[in-house]
Structure 1
Amino acid sequence: MEKNEKLAGLAFLLLLGGLGLAALFIVLFAELAEEVMEKELGQFDSSIIDSFGAIAGGTMDNVMFIITEMGSAWFLTVLSILILIVLGVKMKDKWGMLFFAIAVGGGSLLTLLLKNVYGRQRPSINAEIDAVGYSFPSGHSMGSLIFYGFVIYLVVRTHQRRWIQWLTVTLLGMLILLIGSSRIYLGAHFPSDVLAGYAAGLIWLILSLIALEWIQWHSRSPVPPVQALRKLLGPLYRTVRTKIPFFR
């Protein structure tokens, strides 16, 4: 029982750490949004856009078009349906299904909300690459990070072979970065839009995963979270109290 309490306490601390990480990205997103609204990132955006222009060409255009489609709404919707089928039919994971739907679907709604709140115009309008509407934050960047990030979580969480986990993290991590880069290359977004999309996506993904872990913890752990944390931090609190006069 004592071992279970210690493990539960450590898990609770990890959840708190996740909340702290989400708070950090909220601050980052707020700073980016403020600078975008005050038009202080013009030089930053222009320099990166110019560097992408230096590698532009017919072959690269085709490659970037394929990559950007892997973060498009229709593509992620098809893959999301497949993931839901796997979670429901093969894994019998009802909580995984629910929070995957919340993460992906809620992330899409959050993207639309943020775009309308900030109302930033795009560098260029091109319906062929899904570059219509407002620009900030990048929907492709935010959506791909949430979707592929959740897939990474599922692969790691289901204890696949170590090489499969590392390969998944590496390939999908690179794909997320490439999708964001493709949006800049194709003129659909400013670099600051992409950074904001990643920040907002991380916030929503972290909160979704924390909620999922919390629910799963309650459903399978015999140790209440608060009790586990009290057991874990109790010795530390007593040590601090005896050695630091302020806490006496």
Structure 2
Amino acid sequence: MRKQQMSPMPFLIIGVLFFILFGTVSWGVYFDNNWVNTLDITWIERIQGTISEGQTAFIMKITELGSMELVIALTILIAIILFFKRMFAEGLWFGGTILFCAAIGGKILKKIFDRDRPEFLQLIEKTNESFPSGHATATTIFYGLIGTVLVLASVQLWKKVIVSFITLIWIGFILFTRIYLGAHFPTDVLAGFLYGAAAVLISIGVFLLVQEPLRHLLRKLHLVDRSKILKRDR
């Protein structure tokens, strides 16, 4: 049976397109364009128009599943499991993507834009920079990486569709909670999603390009790598 080669180029190209979209939103926010204000006000009014006490209590608990602190803790746990299974290359890739793209990259972007939080109804207290949303960035990268890997590892089309659907719905719901709670503008979470999606796709593309040299380096260190999910030859 002939092996199908997984090419990094589609991931890199689509990832760059997402990054361009992120740049477009960022440009609008930085220069306070009218379309940004219109989009933010319109969607804040729509989403916060559904507020109820019971719904708020539930959302305040669920939203923390996308917090940077929890994502980092889960990433460390997953990396330890991958290392224990001697999947060193994929453990380094997964942990490195979260560290550099979500934690460090997200923090740098927040410092650059230094956007104030919304002055609308805030159901939770937040005082640090608003753009891009840290929850949106961490959620998209962490759950996006897991969902994408599961899609690539699945053979049947129906499994790919179900995993993709669940991943997108879950990420979308976490993004919704940030606007609902008054913690972020809609453009904050949109930018976090676009940046996160770009990071996931570009990270996978880069890993497909460098995984063989990385495995060669691991062999020099006398580490037998058993990574298999993102091998280019499938």
Residue 17 of structure 1: how far off its partner (Å): 2.1
Structure 2 match to 1:23: 16
Structure 1 match to 2:41: 46
Residue 165 of structure 1: how far off its partner (Å): 4.9
Q: Do the aligned residues in 2 keep the contact of 1:149 with 1:205 (CA within 8 Å)?
A: yes
Equivalent position to 1:170, from 165, 171, 175: 165
Equivalent position to 1:76, from 68, 71, 77: 71
Q: Do the aligned residues in 2 keep the contact of 1:124 with 1:131 (CA within 8 Å)?
A: no
Identity %: 28
Residue 66 of structure 1: how far off its partner (Å): 1.7
1:96 aligns with 2:57: no
Give unpaired runs (5+ residues) of structure 2: 217-234
Please give the TM-score of this superposition, normalised by the length of structure 2: 0.80
Partner deviation per Cα, 1:205-244 (whole Å, 9 max, x = no partner): 1121112222335659xxxxxxxxxxxxxxxxxxxxxxxx
Q: Which segment is superposed worse, 152-161 or 67-76?
A: 152-161
Larger Rg: 1
1:183 aligns with 2:173: no
Q: Cα gap change, 1:101/1:129 in structure 2, threshold over 3 Å: closer, same or farther?
A: farther
Residue 168 of structure 1: how far off its partner (Å): 3.5
Distance (whole Å) between structure 2 residues aligned to residue 188 and residue 137 of structure 1 = 11
Structure 2 match to 1:140: 135
Partner deviation per Cα, 1:182-215 (whole Å, 9 max, x = no partner): 0000011000011100111111111211122223
Q: Do the aligned residues in 2 keep the contact of 1:152 with 1:168 (CA within 8 Å)?
A: yes
Q: Do the aligned residues in 2 keep the contact of 1:26 with 1:199 (CA within 8 Å)?
A: yes
Residue 48 of structure 1: how far off its partner (Å): 0.5
Q: Cα gap change, 1:187/1:146 in structure 2, threshold over 3 Å: closer, same or farther?
A: same
Q: State the superposition RMSD in angstroms.
A: 2.6
Count of paired positions: 211
Structure 1 match to 2:229: none
Distance (whole Å) between structure 2 residues aligned to residue 18 and residue 111 of structure 1 = 21
Equivalent position to 1:61, from 50, 56, 65: 56
Please give the TM-score of this superposition, normalised by the length of structure 1: 0.76
Give unpaired runs (5+ residues) of structure 1: 221-248
Partner deviation per Cα, 1:11-70 (whole Å, 9 max, x = no partner): 33xx22222212212221111111112222111101100011211010111121122101
Q: Which segment is superposed worse, 111-120 or 72-81?
A: 72-81
Partner deviation per Cα, 1:67-99 (whole Å, 9 max, x = no partner): 210101222123212211331223x21111101
1:108 aligns with 2:109: no
SS at match of 2:51: coil
Distance (whole Å) between structure 2 residues aligned to residue 199 and residue 189 of structure 1 = 15
